[in-house]
Amino acid sequence: MPTYDFRCNACGAEFSTFVSVKKRGSVICEHCDSGQIKQLLRGFYVQGTSGGGACAGTGCASCPSGCSA
């Protein structure tokens, strides 16, 4: 299940919670039990794998060992 960040419009609290995509519209504030919340859109991090053409032909200094130009 993904983690979503929310801000409560009633009390101003910000919180994160694990909730399914289908049920994220029914989340209530953990601090005041209000349903007046807004989902916050924050950045996210994706880590790739070292296998497969990420460095193919670049010869960059940050390429993993075994990656050749």
Give pLDDT tens digits for 23-41. Answer: 988 999 999 999 999 999 8
Percentage of the chain beyond pLDDT 90 is 49
Report the DSSP beta bridge partners of residue 55: none
CA angle at 45 for the pair 20 and 4, rounded to the nearest 5°: 25
pTM of the model: 0.58
Judge whether residue 47 has pLDDT over 90. Answer: no
Mean pLDDT of 10-35: 94
Residue 65 pLDDT: 58
Secondary structure string (H, E, C) spanning 23-35: HHHHCCCCCCCCC
Residue 42 pLDDT: 79
